[in-house]
Amino acid sequence: MTPRKVIIDCDTGVDDAMALSLALRSPELEVVGITCVAGNVELEHVIRNTLTVVELSGKRVPVYAGAYRPLMGAWETAASVHGRKGFGDLEYPEPKIRVEAEHAVDFLVRAFLESQNDLDLITIGPLTNVALALAKDARLASKIRSITMMAGGINAGNSTPAAEFNIYADPEAADLVFRSGIPLTMIALDPIMECGGIYVADVEDMEAAGTPWCTLVSRLLRRNLERMKIIYSDNLRTNPPDLLAVGVYIDPSIADCEMFHVTVECRGEHTRGMTLLDRRMWARAMGLSAKPNVNVVKTVDNLRYRALVVDTLTAH
């Protein structure tokens, strides 16, 4: 099978690092570039973390620096979740590889315009880079074959009761992307929290593999498990959001999806950054609702997802 070509846009913190490792080690994917955006932590830390993941993966993929702040409004990091520098306070040496000179937005425009409609995009951070690229060249929306996003919530958020972090960090950028007409698949918080996630036994399998990428991912998963014990008094499993997004892209058949019209709230006092799904089936049947624009993941086969992650990462 010919690997599918993909670009990954990320704000590399703990779960982004796991997701990047999975994508880079997957024989089903050809990662042609990674673009960095400020989000979980400041851009300088995102870049360093991303370069470290690429270096440890044993692959050589170019990394590009992008937006250092959202399009509008105040910006808040998620350092309280990901650690001050975004790597869960784990220490790694300075990477030997370096970031590319070309700006991430310019790379996105160039790569997709030069593609033969055979290139997809995975976004596991705020959508600032993507929105800027769409604004820079109007042709881009017709050249991106699909976007798979870790973004939003169906019923609730995490940054606020209404908003998930990647959308809340830059709602205006998300709004532009959601209205772009590009085929979108949204992996929201709900299936991530409900599917079961990655278990201790899976982490032990990765630790036993002993490769640099498995060691990185297992160390980060162990950190997450420690957090789960503090929050839920249960450290048997953890649910890294971005890891599931890459898993669903690699094998869409593990997910049960449904098309909805999804809008992004940009102005609400208590709901800024909320992803609002129009679930009024009667309105859709009567032609009174807007056309569905997002393929929303509702549930995931967790046994197959766990096997995909472990088998991909532990294969030599």
Does residue 309 have a pLDDT over 90? Answer: yes
What does the alpha-carbon distance between residue 45 and residue 50 come to, in Å, rounded to a whole number? 8
Dmax over CA atoms of the chain, in Å, equals 60
DSSP secondary-structure letter at 290? P
Instruction: Give backbone dihedrals phi and psi of 244, rounded to 5 degrees, phi first.
Output: -65, -40
What does the alpha-carbon distance between residue 9 and residue 115 come to, in Å, rounded to a whole number? 17
Nearest Cα to Cα of residue 67 among 127, 149, 136: 127
Q: Please, are residues 141 and 147 in contact by the beta-carbon 8 Å criterion?
A: no
Within 10 angstroms of residue 183's Cβ, the number of other Cβ atoms is 14
Q: What is the mean pLDDT of the chain?
A: 94
Q: Please, are residues 214 and 313 in contact by the beta-carbon 8 Å criterion?
A: yes
Tell me the residue length of the chain.
Answer: 316
Pairing of strands 29-36, 63-65: parallel
Domain limits, the chain = 4-311
pLDDT single digits (tens) 209-258: 999 999 999 999 998 888 766 666 666 789 999 999 999 999 999 999 99
Q: Whole-structure pTM over 0.75, yes or no?
A: yes
DSSP secondary-structure letter at 248? H
Helix then strand count (H, E) for the chain reads 13, 11
- Average pLDDT of span 175-185: 98
Q: Which CATH superfamily is domain 4-311 in?
A: Ribonucleoside hydrolase-like (3.90.245.10)
What does the alpha-carbon distance between residue 79 and residue 37 come to, in Å, rounded to a whole number? 15
What does the alpha-carbon distance between residue 312 and residue 275 come to, in Å, rounded to a whole number? 32
Does residue 50 have a pLDDT over 80? Answer: yes
Strands (E) across the chain are located at: 4-10, 29-36, 63-65, 119-123, 147-150, 184-187, 198-199, 237-238, 255-264, 275-278, 294-300
What does the alpha-carbon distance between residue 308 and residue 236 come to, in Å, rounded to a whole number? 19
The pLDDT score that the predictor gives to residue 80 is 81
Does residue 68 have a pLDDT over 70? Answer: yes
- Average pLDDT of span 138-164: 96
Q: Please, are residues 271 and 238 in contact by the beta-carbon 8 Å criterion?
A: no
Q: How confident is the model at residue 290 (pLDDT cuts 50, 70, 90)?
A: confident
- Average pLDDT of span 291-297: 96
Pairing of strands 237-238, 255-264: unpaired
